Amino acid sequence: MTTRTMTLDKTKTPALFEAIRRHRVLATILFLFVLPWLTPNYSVAAHILIFGLYALGFNLIFGYMGMLSFGHSAFLGIGAYTAGILIAQHAITWWLAIPAAIVVSAAGALVIGALAIRTRGIYFAMVTLALSQCVYFLIYQMPASGGENGLRGVNVPEVNLFGLTIDVLDPINKYYFFFCFVAISLWLISRILASPFGHAIQAIRENETRTRACGFNVENTKLITFVLSGAFCGLAGALNGINLSSVAIETLHYETSGLVVMICLLGGMGTFFGPIVGALLFLLIQDVFSLWTEHWQLYVGGIFIFFVLFFPKGVWGTILEKLHVD
Amino acid sequence: MKTINKWTYVLCLASVFGMSGALAQSDPIRIGLPVPLTGPYGAEAKDQVRNAEIAVKEFNEAGGLEGRMAELLVRDDKLNPGEAATRALDLIEKDHANFIVGGLSASTQLSTNNITKQRKVIYISISQSDAINEAADMSRYTFHEALNPHMTTQALGRHLFKEGMRIAFLTADYAYGHEMARGFTTVAEEVGAKIVGEVRHPLGTSDYSVFLPRLAALKPDILVFNNFGRDNQISIQQAGQFGLKANTKFVTPVLLYTARQAAGDKVYEGVTGATSYYWELQNQYDTAKALNERYKKEYGSYPSDYGALAYGAVKSLLMAVKQAGTTDTEKVVDALASLKYDTYKGPEYYRGCDHQAVQSVLIIESKTAPADNPDDVFKIVKEVAPTEDILRSCEKLGFK
Amino acid sequence: MDGFMLQLLGLQLFTGVALGAIYVLMAVGLSLIFGMLTVVNFAHGAFFMVGAYVGYLLYQYVPNFWICLVAVPVLTGLIGIVVERYLVRPLYGRGIDYPLLLTFGLGYVMVEVIRIIFGKQGLPVSTPDALQGAVDVFVGPFPLYRLFVIGVAVVVLLILWLFIERTSFGLIIRAGARDPMIVRVLGVDISRVWLVVFAIGTGIAGLAGYLSAPMQGIAPEMGTNVLIVAFVVTVVGGMGSLTGAIVAGLLIGIVESLAAFMYPEASKVSMFIIMALVLLVRPMGLFGRAGLMS
């Protein structure tokens, strides 16, 4: 009988990576802080920031809890349309509209989650898909949403903070405005994951029956996680609406749900930094390739297949694995 | 040989630097062109790029703006309004585009417009939309070169609808469809024709069999297909297969050149519609002839309707730039707003309150192309001369 | 309800069945592939589209609708074999997500390749002369070609049923769907079985595409709509169940048709409502087995 021993061979793991692992929030925030200077243009940086947040929210359910949802575009959309309608049609300021968006998407997640949690595996994916398509239909038919034309007029030209007026039409200012929200979210997510609740989430992924046997209320945990996930995705949606000054109905389409799944997988699900890496890779590749050729879908799809075949843990997951960091 | 002394060298170098300095000052006039190169309208978008390139070339060949050349920055908006907004942001922030022309769906043009008007950049839209004329979306910097659903329906409806006729709609359930249906309803009411029913289908439907029995049961004299692109093609094809053509005239507001060529003459046989441009206009307008010739020389065929729109928009834009003598936005806006131009289809101008291009509408009917000229797919039944009559009034659009 | 409305309703039901025929063909392939390989084939719509294009190409050289009808599923199945052998099989054992995502990316690639070869514009396909025109089906005129499609679907299902229930290979398939581990323990080369199943599933999808071509023409995007419906049908019926695929396909086709009659804007979303309702009441689908892929 052999016993496997895990040795924490500190000499193999560079001290830098140890530090990063310990202070993952700070490291991620720092990375996102300098991101605009690393990307070819500012709009893709803002996109990475926003979709990174979307992916982080989704990762709570997908990576940490192990449940594949194909309907998360619903929360992105509910958040976007809530903030959008409040700003464009009711002249509500951003610091009320954005929290409202978070609350409404969380509420939506509560409803959808309560219905979907009863199913598992591929069926869970399908129920979430079906329910998100119902949300798509409902919002499409709402006159306030603008339907296919989209919701225009989500204009936040300037932000008044502590007496300072910041021109948010300037791409740099806009980026750091979103950055504040994302940084706070990152910190929150990290705290959630590090808490006992966070460990319960991962325990459910590893072995649901045993977690239940240990006395955890699995259904409640799943639902709460789903709601949290919906809240963060709703925030991402609101920020996206402000970023583009409009909300497109495509935000609610199942392709947007599929997009976040791809991003998480590409980056490395179940890792903290993975979703951001995934967003970075996917959006950058798509951006660069669409500039080169009209057949960019061929290359993006091909690269995606390549990653699925050879980097199953995602880029960041594989990097972590190679460095023996667990 | 020794006569070429060092001072000559210095002089030569100085003049070279001087010249390059002058050239460096004459930076290009950048026109962004975000169009859906990928997606269902890829072919139409590609044609828009080609036509826009011709307009740019003609401008440059004529000397540009005192040596400043125009440059086209083509981008793929993937027919997605979010992507279109991003491309507009990039073009303005990173590429420093002076102007933007583009958009092949209502949603993309509206989202692009939302970005450009906030940043005071001229945007000329080249596809149909009623909303872009309305006060909520329009701005001083917004121009609309394409037809809008109201114009199209008024022209077509007045030509076809007669008192007492029974008219049914198959409408795509989105803004374009609704706007077309609304326009046709207005004409029907004026003329005394009866709308006997409307069936709305979700955008992107590929099987219309579920909608057709109901429409057939209404026994309409005219069946109007208020949809676009592939929806239009498939629904007309299937309606024909269900036997509806026997007793009903098929009408569609935008009879697309590329769709007609893709689907073949059997599908579109007997269908009447409207368009902004058909190459046969060359028999009447020298500008159409000139465009067709240039396009034929470069690509061996004729420009399509949507392609020619791109040509018209870029050409009139550059005309305004030349007239204003500068790329300064405010001056170009003034020049464009007061411009009277004939770029490819006869006289046009932009109306004051909504910057809608007042232009002719062509009523066309599909026909079987003769063997020696496979591009001869339409017959121009009528050319509705440019008139503000077929536009909605400024008050109706929300302008005081 | 007067006779006219009844007639209209009857015609609407008929169109629902015709619609269901294509859905059933697609769902059967998906269900087979999922049942045997536990692979959620997101490229199924792309195979549908490829079948249509393969048929179009073949028709240029062999202008006989009937020969192409038989050849298209075979050729599409061959493409499926290549995909399974080199792209899907390496992912065995990694969990359900990976083949799903691989086929997701594959779908994009296949559509783009077709775009590059055949262009972005669709291509026209006309109904074969023998099948043109409408037939009076008692409730009204109905296109003959659509009746033909229903007929082909029935024949294909019959052949499939015979294959699965009456042949020894079919026995292996049924056993493998129930318990792949045991089948391997019994010494069967399961990878060969997977190959065949994947080929059959994609071949049927290609056939469905070829059949759809005269009704809607062909375009690179034609597979995306069908894919989502196929998923809904498969899930409602129960993944891995062929009876479920048939029942659900007809159900959804008829519901869509009736919804188009009563509340047309909602005709597309009606199937999602059905799916949500079914899954909430019976989380494994109508005929699915509990515990399968939970």
Residues of chain A with C-beta less than 8 angstroms from the C-beta of B78: 290
Other CB atoms within 10 A of residue C26 CB: 31
**Three-state SS for B240?**
helix
**CA–CA separation, B118 vs A97, rounded Å?**
20
Taking contacts as CB-CB distances below 8 angstroms, the residues of chain C near B261 are 121
Chain B environment of C120 (Cβ under 8 Å) = 40, 42-43, 46
Alpha-carbon distance of B91 to C178, in angstroms, equals: 57
Listed ranges A147-151, A258-262, B148-152, C10-14; the one with the highest mean pLDDT: B148-152
CA distance A143 to B343: 38
Closest CB to B200 among C122, C256, C265: C265
Amino acid at residue number A239: L
Strand partners, B382: B363
Name beta bridge partners: B76: B35
Instruction: Please indicate whether residue C88 or residue B226 has the higher confidence score (pLDDT).
Output: B226
Cα separation, A306 vs C5, in Å, equals 56
Q: Of C230, C205, C208, C201, nearest to C150 (Cα)?
A: C208
**B182 or C293: which carries more pLDDT confidence?**
B182
Q: Does A30 fall in a domain?
A: yes
Q: pLDDT at residue C74 above 90?
A: yes
Phi, then psi, of C135 in degrees rounded to 5: -125, 145
Sheet-wide strand order for B340-341: B340-341, B348-350, B357-358
CA–CA distance, C293 with A294 (Å, rounded to integer): 39
Determine the structural domain holding residue A153 and report its residue range. Answer: 14-322
Q: Are A223 and A113 in contact (CB under 8 A)?
A: yes
Q: CB–CB of B262 and C122 under 8 A?
A: yes
Of C126, C217, C268, the CB nearest to B233: C217
C148's tokens? 């033909």
Separation of alpha carbons B210 and C271, rounded Å: 14
Comparing A243 with C216, which gets the higher pLDDT? A243
- 3-state SS track over chain C: CCHHHHHHHHHHHHHHHHHHHHHHHHHHHHHHHHHHHCCCCCCHHHHHHHHHHHHHHHHHHCCCHHHHHHHHHHHHHHHHHHHHHHHHHHHCCCCCHHHHHHHHHHHHHHHHHHHHHHCCCCECCCCCHHHCCEEECCCCEEEHHHHHHHHHHHHHHHHHHHHHHHCHHHHHHHHHHHCHHHHHHCCCCHHHHHHHHHHHHHHHHHHHHHHHHHHHCECCCHHHHHHHHHHHHHHHHCCCCHHHHHHHHHHHHHHHHHHHHHCHHHCCCHHHHHHHHHHHHCCCCCCCCCCCCC
Q: What is the pLDDT of residue A4?
A: 55
pLDDT at B21: 43
Query: What is residue B95's three-state secondary structure?
Result: coil
**Across the strands, what pairs with B30?**
B71
Residue A131 confidence (pLDDT): 92
Looking at the complex, report in whole angstroms how far the Cα of residue A265 sits from the nearest Cα belonging to chain C.
Answer: 8
What are φ and ψ of residue C291, in 5° steps?
A: 95, -10
- The span from the CA of C136 to the CA of C139, in Å, is 7
Torsional class of A150: left (φ above 0), alpha (ψ -120 to 50), beta (otherwise): left
Residue A12 has pLDDT above 60, yes or no: no
Say whether residue B238 is in contact with chain C using an 8 A CB cutoff.
Answer: yes
Contact C265 B202 (CB under 8 A): yes
CB-based contact A155 B118, cutoff 8 Å = yes
Give the A:C interface size as CB pairs under 8 Å: 106
At residue A6, the pLDDT reads 57
Closest Cα in chain A, distance from residue B33 (Å): 13
Q: Do C217 and B237 lie within an 8 Å CB cutoff?
A: yes
Mean pLDDT of A11-23: 70
Task: State the CATH number of the domain containing residue A25.
Answer: 1.10.3470
Asked if A148 and B175 come within 8 Å (Cβ–Cβ), the reply is yes
Identify which of A160-169, B98-107, C212-221 has the greatest average pLDDT: B98-107
3-class SS letters over chain A: CCCCCCCCCCCCCCHHHHHHHHCHHHHHHHHHHHHHHHCCCHHHHHHHHHHHHHHHHHHHHHHHCCCCCCCCHHHHHHHHHHHHHHHHHHCCCHHHHHHHHHHHHHHHHHHHHHHHCCCCHHHHHHHHHHHHHHHHHHHHHCHHHCHHHCEECCCCCEEEECCEEEECCCHHHHHHHHHHHHHHHHHHHHHHHHCHHHHHHHHHHHCHHHHHHCCCCHHHHHHHHHHHHHHHHHHHHHHHHHHHCEECHHHHCHHHHHHHHHHHHHHCCCCCCHHHHHHHHHHHHHHHHHHHCCCHHHHHHHHHHHHHHHCCCHHHHHHHHHCCCC
Do the chains contact at A127 and C101, CB–CB below 8 Å? no
- Token pair in block for residue C128: 């074969």
Contacts of A142 in chain B (CB under 8 A): none
Which residues, 6 or more positions from B319, have their beta carbon under 8 angstroms from its beta carbon? B339, B341, B343
The residue ranges of chain B whose pLDDT is under 70 are: 1-25
CA–CA min distance A152, chain B (Å)? 7
> Are the C-beta atoms of residues B180 and B226 closer than 8 Å to each other?
yes
Closest to C204 in 3D by CA, of C152, C261, C241? C152
In a domain, A116, yes or no: yes
C40-75 burial string, b = 16+ CB within 10 Å, else e? bbbbbbbbbbbbbbbbbbbbeeeeebeebeebbbeb
- Interface probe, candidates B206, B226, B236, chain C, greatest C C-beta count within 10 A: B206
What pLDDT, on a 0 to 100 scale, did the predictor assign at position B162? 94
A250 contact B CB<8A: yes
Weakest mean pLDDT among A10-14, B338-342, C155-159: A10-14
Say if CB A261 and CB A314 are below 8 A apart: no
Contact between chains at C232 and A130 (C-beta distance less than 8 A): yes
Single-letter residue type at A142: M
Report the distance separating Cα B301 and Cα A215, nearest Å. Answer: 74
Helix B42-61 and helix B305-324, axial crossing angle in degrees, nearest 10: 30
Residues in B closer than 8 angstroms to A297, CB to CB, are 38
Which residue in this structure is represented by tokens 């939309």? B129
B102 closest CA partner among B82, B122, B118: B122
Res B25: pLDDT: 46
Contact (Cβ atoms closer than 8 angstroms) between residue A50 and residue A240: yes
Q: Mean pLDDT, to the nearest integer, of C234-251?
A: 89
The residue among B26 and C76 whose pLDDT is bigger is C76
Give the C-side interface with B, CB within 8 Å: 4, 8, 11-12, 15-16, 18-19, 22, 115, 119-124, 126-127, 133-134, 140-141, 143, 145-146, 212, 215-217, 219, 221-222, 225-226, 256-257, 260-261, 264-265, 267-269
Distance, CA of C100 to CA of C45 (rounded, Å)? 13
Q: Which pLDDT score is estimated for B19?
A: 47
Residue carrying structure tokens 């002076």:
B98
Provide the pLDDT for residue A163: 81
B175–A169 C-beta distance less than 8 A: no
Question: DSSP class of residue B285?
Answer: -
Interface of A with C in 261-300 (CB under 8 A): 261-262, 265, 295, 297-298, 300
Which tens digits make up the pLDDT trace of A269-320?
A: 888 899 999 999 989 888 888 888 878 888 888 888 888 888 878 888 888 8
Q: Is A229 within the bounds of a domain?
A: yes
pLDDT-based confidence at residue A2 (cuts at 50, 70, 90): low
B92: distance to nearest CA of chain A, Å? 10
pLDDT at B7: 57
> Is A157 a domain residue?
yes
Mean pLDDT to the nearest integer, C154-181:
86
Q: What is the mean pLDDT of residues A199-204?
A: 90
Nearest to C236 by CA among C279, C290, C205, C270: C279
Nearest CA in chain A to C109: A298
CA distances from B288 to B8, B279, B284, B305 (A): 52, 7, 8, 12
Strand partners, B341: B348
Q: What residue of C is the nearest CA neighbor of B204?
A: C225
Spell out which residues of chain B touch residue C108, defining contact as CB-CB under 8 Å: none
Residue A26 lies in a domain: yes
- Give the confidence band of C268 by pLDDT, cuts at 50, 70, 90: confident
| Dihedral of the alpha carbons of C110, C116, C120, C123, in degrees to the nearest 10 | -80
Q: What is the pLDDT of residue C96?
A: 72
Averaged pLDDT, A51-80: 94
User: What's the rounded Cα separation, in Å, for the pair B209 and C16?
Assistant: 8
* Pick from C19, C146, C225: CB nearest B204: C225
- The model's confidence at residue C255, banded by pLDDT at 50, 70 and 90, is very high
**Number of domains chain A is built from:** 1
Is it the case that residue A7 has pLDDT exceeding 60?
no
How far apart CA C17 and CA B210 sit, in angstroms, is 10
Q: Give the helix/strand (H/E) hosting B99.
A: strand B99-102
B179: part of which helix (H) or strand (E)? helix B175-191
Average pLDDT, chain C: 87
> Which residues of chain C approach chain A closer than 8 Å at the C-beta?
34, 40, 87, 90-91, 94, 96-98, 101-102, 104-109, 111-113, 115-116, 228, 231-232, 235, 239, 265-266, 268-269, 272-273, 275-276, 279-280, 283-285, 293-294
The Cα A242–Cα A259 span in angstroms is 20
Residues A16-26 have a mean pLDDT of 78
Q: Which amino acid is at C167?
A: T
Calpha distance C26→C227 (Å, rounded): 8
pLDDT of residue B20: 43
- Non-local CB neighbours of B247 within 8 Å, separated by 6+ positions: B219
Chain B hits for A171, Cβ within 8 Å: 89, 93
Residue B167 CA, distance from chain mean position = 27
